[in-house]
Chain A
Amino acid sequence: MKKIAQKTLLSLLALSAFESASALDSGAQSLTTTIGATDYFKITCAGDTDHLNFKLFEGGVTAASILIPESPPILPQILNATLTKLKLTTTTSAIAAGTNKDVTLKGRNGAYTLTLDTFGTNLTLKTAQTYSVQYQCLNAAKIVTTGSSTLVKLGIESATKTLANNKTAKYAINCTEKTDSLKVKIINKTAAVKPISPVIPVVSASSGNLTAQVIKGANAQNTIDDVLDVQEGNGDYSLMVNSPINAAKTYSFQYSCLNTKNVEAKTSPFQILQNQ
């Protein structure tokens, strides 16, 4: 069973050998060892097409081996924690997904308020963040005193909570017994988002084990690895891919209907006429 994938890898493929400012369409396909095996396609160009630009690559669709510009880093999801007691306040900002930070406020005995928010987080990431909290009331010698909260008992990590973007959570913590300060550890348990690795065709040049022909009207051109420009205007272009040695090969190709200024005209997705 042949794997057929038709993709429009516009931005990725535009980074390869072509200099035109056009978007490129592409196809990925495989050729079997059937004697005379030929894959046969139709590509329709419209608009103000002057020529069809085409290139053949040996190899299937796999992890990229070509250089692509480095994407801007994905901003993380973060939490901010603020401790307040009367007019005293302290804040720890940007507790990123998968990390933790402490926030401490010297407020002596009494009721503290812990406020958590998501200000500054990456709002394109819609999943609510998860976190837990652990706190200690400490005396001047940093010895644990006593305290209580509706959130969790002193010194114990709370159950995992969730906080959606643009939301705020508040907890009351009450410290007693000659407390000097309250120390709260906020653990952001949100899974860190990893950049998505693009999947694009391997762009090795054909070694001659594969050839492709582009035909329109009375114009027929053959290619191994050179870029073809078949100048026949609008209409249907025939494309064949075959192997002189009947090799089982995966391959990909990219094409674009271009006008006289090498700007993308109207390029249709290719149509498979024969798949061998």
Chain B
Amino acid sequence: MKRFLFLMLMSLPVCGFAHDLSGDLGEAASATDYMMIYCSADGSITADKLYFQISSDSSSSASLVSAQITKNNFATNITDLINGDANSSRVAEIAGGEGAYRVTINKNGVGKASYSFVYHCESNEGEHAETTDSSLQNN
């Protein structure tokens, strides 16, 4: 069962505001949480890219938690290489412009895992652009 906690929610037109979410992945290795993140302009601030970083919160988990972000024909993978520590994965910045970014979150083995991630749409200058999301699958 997944839990989505909105710590700071969408669309605050303040430069530097991020969006945090957390969730759980079920026992099965196939478990995948799936969401869309939508980037759009916020006034004069263009949405040039998506900023995304994930963290595995389960120190007892033997599996690594990864996220894949795709937009158009581009795809990348990020992984938190150490579970439960203070460090997150590398930051992925996907320069896909406005529109829908597809995000899948999964792990490389069986066993439950908890994770959290930070994301926001931004301009090339790093200004926060309009960012919304919707969850498509939660397992």
Contacts and interface: CB of A to CB of B under 8 A. Distances in A.
Interface of A: 35-38, 40, 208-209, 211, 213, 215, 218-224, 226, 228, 238, 240, 242-245, 273-274
B77 A274 contact: no
Given A242-B66, A244-B64, A37 B34 contact: no
Given A211-B66, A224-B29, A219 B108 contact: no
A38 B64 contact: no
B70 to A, nearest CB: 7
Contacts of A40: 70, 73-75
Contacts of A245: 64, 79, 81
Contacts of A36: 76-78, 90, 92
A273 B102 CA distance: 15
Contact of B68 (A224, A228, A242): A242
A22 to B, nearest CB: 21
Q: What secondary structure prevails in chain B residues at the interface with A?
A: strand
Given A36-B78, A242-B66, A244-B66, A222 B32 contact: yes
Nearest to A209: B108
B77 A244 contact: yes
Interface of B: 29-32, 34, 63-64, 66, 68, 70, 73-79, 81, 90, 92, 102, 104, 106-109, 136-137
Contacts, number: 82
Given A38-B68, A226-B30, A245-B81, A211 B106 contact: yes
B29 A220 contact: no
Given A211-B66, A240-B68, A244-B64, A220 B76 contact: no
Contacts of A219: 34, 137
- Most chain B CB inside 10 Å of its own CB: which residue of A38, A224, A244: A244
A220 B136 contact: yes
B37 to A, nearest CB: 14
B104 A215 contact: yes
Contacts of B34: 215, 218-220
A274 B108 contact: no
Nearest to B34: A220
Given A38-B77, A242-B68, A274-B73, A224 B137 contact: no
16 contacts: A40-B73, A208-B64, A208-B109, A209-B108, A211-B106, A218-B34, A218-B137, A219-B137, A220-B137, A222-B106, A223-B30, A228-B30, A238-B70, A240-B104, A242-B68, A242-B75
A220 B25 CA distance: 13
4 smallest CB-CB distances across A and B, nearest first, come from A222-B106, A242-B77, A220-B34, A208-B108
A273 B104 contact: no
B28 to A, nearest CB: 8
B108 A211 contact: yes
Contacts of A220: 32, 34, 104, 136-137
Contact of B107 (A222, A228, A240): A222
A227 to B, nearest CB: 10
Contacts of B108: 208-209, 211, 224, 244
- Most chain A CB inside 10 Å of its own CB: which residue of B79, B108, B136: B108
Given A222-B107, A274-B74, 19 more contacts: A36-B90, A40-B75, A208-B63, A213-B68, A220-B32, A220-B136, A220-B137, A221-B30, A222-B30, A222-B31, A223-B30, A228-B30, A240-B68, A242-B66, A244-B77, A244-B108, A245-B64, A245-B81, A273-B73
A37 B104 CA distance: 15
Contacts of B75: 38, 40, 240, 242, 273-274
A173 to B, nearest CB: 75
Contact of A240 (B63, B70, B78): B70
